[in-house]
Structure 1
Amino acid sequence: MSTDGEGVDETGWDVEPGDEIASVVEALGHQQKRWREAAGLSAPEFGEAIGYGEDLVRKVERGARIPRPEYLDAADRVLGAGGFILAMKEEMAKARYPKKVRELAKLEERAVELCLYSTHNVHGLLQTPEFAEALLRTRRPALAQGELERAVAARMARQSIYGREPAPELSFVQEEVTLRRPIGGTMILRRQLEHMLEIGQLPHVELQVMPTNRGDHPGTGGRIQVLKFADGSAIGRTDDEFSGRPVSDPRQLRVLELRYGIIRARALTPRESLDFIEQVLGET
């Protein structure tokens, strides 16, 4: 079974030492071991039955490996767990996030409104898997294959936000250049633009484009993100102020909300923006 030597192969991800998710993975491992022993199966027998090696089975049961969804499907079926192992699927998906992404995902899950202005790249919540992978491949130093796969999987998992009930309000403003930069080549860009058109049709999403020829807006300092929560609190971030750190002070948030409001007002309307993206798609 191949591995890239960086803590990941086709069977899942290794748990990083000291990671806070270790207890969640250990709980899954203990549960699997109890079901396996109750079924009268040794680790090698169980591994053969689900199509994985004994080493992986023991790593999962020790809490040292975060298994992929296919592994959980097979384990639940073979052990006749009736969905008890599958119930851990969502937690395992979250555990696959790198630590930095995990914190962001938690905030996005709580948010009732997200305001997101992107200047250089298509926002992660709008990216297709192919575009995300191509974009992440441009990083230097380059990501190892395992790190790349984990980053793409985490980014895609965050997009479950679109199916939440009740749905949060999402407002995106994308600079025109993000629609034209051929990350990954023409076909990947075309699919990315088509995907944005689909997302822009959702009733709780407003997707706007800031044309390059509109220079009279306060977005020249970089990205802006404001996430608002049901209790009235919020958290925001921008590239050029507050040292780039997340802020929750009402006065600092007011600065970000003011800037975002002006940017949103100067951008094309949502309907005009979808027409603009269709135009760019036709030119690509």
Structure 2
Amino acid sequence: MSLERLAEIVNFSKSHLARVETADSMPPPELPGLLDAQFGTDGIFSELYQLARNESHPDQLRRRMELEARACAIAEYTCQVVPGLVQTADFTRALYKMHYPRDTEDAIEEAVNRRMNRQAVFRRDNPPEYSAILDEAVLHRGFGGPSVMRAQLARLIELMLTSTAVVQVLPFAYGGHPLVGGSLALFTLDDDTQVAWEEGSDSGTLMEDLERATARRRSYDRLRSCALSPTESAAFIQSVMDALPDGYGPLAYPTPMGRPQARC
């Protein structure tokens, strides 16, 4: 059966089915049952789906980069570090030097260049919509000294002035939540496919099945509704910048006075 004919029967686009066929995309949860019904396979596709959804992609990070490059909308939450897509080169360099102290300067620079190249998605003709929720800890977790952090925080404020980006701060006052302890990236592709990437300190999990991606989207939306507004977030980031010491020594943040409260 041609993909065109199958697309008509199961009511999925040909392009979507083609990605499933080549293992570039997880099947939507409802698709296996439709395939079993069409081909009379007595639940085989449904059973295979249960196995496939629990398997890790052989190169999940590479796959994540591909999805990031294709996305028309990207939403991120981070609890400790500024997201890679909006890092300055100096912040990235300091971060890599901290994580890989034995790497050569050339290896560090190569890693920095790779990360900066990812940011080309914002320079294309039709850049993705971008939103980020930053835990308050991200603003205080310094890398590279005050001058590096000052430039990085200024970069975040600049993003709030663009037509395609929204950055919000989730204050400590919000308390605990389901995403604490890791980071989350949500990608919406041009055919409205939803994909989630959840990352811990040393590993990441790609979720291309609709059920898990939707669950992460709900968690993200709850945090966004309780975060500070973009205007309030910009003011708060500015207050952290103002509290930075001069010079290039270790960071020593005073405790901000009049800390803003969460909305929920």
* TM-score normalised according to structure 2 size: 0.65
CA distance in 2, matches of 1:188, 1:101: 27
Opposite residue 238 of structure 1, the aligned amino acid is E
Segments of 4+ moved more than 4 angstroms: 99-103
Alignment match, 2:141? 181
1:64-213 alignment to 2 at 5 Å?
A: 103-140=63-100, 142-213=102-173
Residue 125 of structure 1 contacts residue 159 of structure 1 at CA under 8 Å; is this kept in 2? yes
What does the per-residue CA deviation read over 1:51-71, in whole Å, with 9 as the maximum and x for residues that have no partner?
Answer: xxxxxxxxxxxxxxxxxxxxx
How much has 1:141 moved relative to structure 2? 5.8
What corresponds to 1:264 in structure 2?
224
Q: Aligned ranges for residues 48-63 of structure 1 at < 5 Å?
A: none
The offset of 1:143, in angstroms, is: 2.5
State yes or no: 1:276 paired with 2:236. yes
Number of the residue aligned with 2:192: 232
Pick from 252, 255, 264: which aligns with 2:212?
A: 252
Quote how far apart the aligned CAs of 1:250 are. Answer: 0.8
Conserved? CA contact 2:185–2:198, under 8 Å = yes
Counterpart residue type for residue 274 of structure 1: A
- Alignment partner of 2:173: what SS? coil
8 A contact 1:113–1:227 mirrored in 2: yes
- Highest relative contact order (Cα 8 Å, sep 6+), 1 or 2? 2
Q: Which amino acid aligns with 1:157?
A: N
Q: Which amino acid aligns with 2:102?
A: A
- How far the C-alpha of 1:140 sits from its partner, in A, is 4.2
3-state SS in 2 of match to 1:227: strand
Structure 1 residue matching 2:206: 3-state secondary structure: coil
Residues 77 and 220 in structure 2, CA contact (< 8 A), matched pair in contact too? yes
Q: Shift of the alpha carbon at 1:278?
A: 1.0
Q: CA deviation at 1:109?
A: 1.7
Alignment of 1:6-21 (within 5 A): none
Hey, what's the Cα distance between the residues in 1 that align with 2:141 and 2:204? Answer: 25
Task: Please give the per-residue CA displacement for 1:107-130, whole angstroms capped at 9, x wherever unaligned.
Answer: 222101101001110111111111
1:116-174: per-residue Cα shift (whole Å, max 9, x none)?
Answer: 00111011111111111001101146323222111100111111122222221101011
1:237–1:102: structure 2 CA closer, same or farther, 3 Å change rule? Answer: closer
| Structure 1 residue matching 2:131: 3-state secondary structure | strand
Q: Are 1:112 and 1:230, in contact at CA under 8 Å, matched by a contact in 2?
A: yes
Give the root-mean-square deviation of aligned CA atoms: 2.0
Q: 1:140 to 1:130 in 2, by over 3 A?
A: closer
Structure 1 residue runs of 5 or longer lacking an equivalent are 1-98
The CA deviation at 1:264 is: 0.9
1:181-232 deviations in Å (ceiling 9; x for gaps): 2210011111111111112211100101111121153322421111110112
Residue identity in the other structure for 1:260:
Y
Deviation at 1:244, TM superposition (A): 4.0
What is the total number of aligned residue pairs between the two structures? Answer: 184
Percent identity, aligned pairs only, is: 31
In the TM superposition, residue 239 of structure 1 has moved relative to its aligned partner by 3.6
Q: Would the alpha carbon gap of residues 149 and 244 (structure 1) be closer, same or farther in structure 2, given more than 3 Å must change?
A: closer
Mapped contact 1:218–1:262 kept (Cα < 8 A): no
Question: Where do 5+ consecutive residues of structure 2 fail to align?
Answer: 1-58, 245-264
CA contact (8 A) 1:226 1:237 kept: yes
Secondary structure in 2 matching 1:150? helix
The 2-side partners of 1:100 and 1:186 are apart by 34
Between the aligned partners of 1:100 and 1:146, the Cα distance in structure 2 is: 25
